[in-house]
Chains A and B, each alone.
Chain A
Amino acid sequence: QQPVQSPQAVILREGEDAVINCSSSKALYSVHWYRQKHGEAPVFLMILLKGGEQKGHDKISASFNEKKQQSSLYLTASQLSYSGTYFCGTEARVSGNTPLVFGKGTRLSVIA
């Protein structure tokens, strides 16, 4: 089942913060976050595993609430380079191999 991302799109000025949410109706084992710029391949940002952890590097961080089956991606003090479409990919891992299912994406535009 495809995770639901919100918002669908957001426009920020440089230096502003944003939160992108990803929620699933299924119990999750992991959540993967990717950023894709127009015409390019998705680029891996981070993975969060079951256990309710929080991760981050530079000014991009994420949290995973397994009880709520939700993950949030936090972008602070946004830069022009943050523009792109952000996808979450969720893995249920009920048994054996379970593939990643990606959301429809959140389009982020950072303007000067």
Chain B
Amino acid sequence: GESVGLHLPTLSVQEGDNSIINCAYSNSASDYFIWYKQESGKGPQFIIDIRSNMDKRQGQRVTVLLNKTVKHLSLQIAATQPGDSAVYFCAETVPGNTPLVFGKGTRLSVIA
């Protein structure tokens, strides 16, 4: 769910390693999930999405995993590069007329 009042957790990863960013969502009725990447001073950019009838979806160097049993979403980035350094947000939608709810975000720092 939305936690806009909390400082962001940070994940530090060595360049070339794989990164795993986790997100616990709040509503068991949520049926659509998105990962966004936000670089400093810019608006969030769409990375990948997944619907609740799936448990895994792959993109270019990224994979999203969905575990509905424990309400957990993860973003895996393969061969992390310095350009991947950013804040990553998960977002969920629930049935009904409500907008996307964003998670608190995780700052990914890539060590060269």
Question: Do A and B form a real pair?
Answer: no
Instruction: Give the B-binding residues of A (Cβ under 8 A).
Output: none
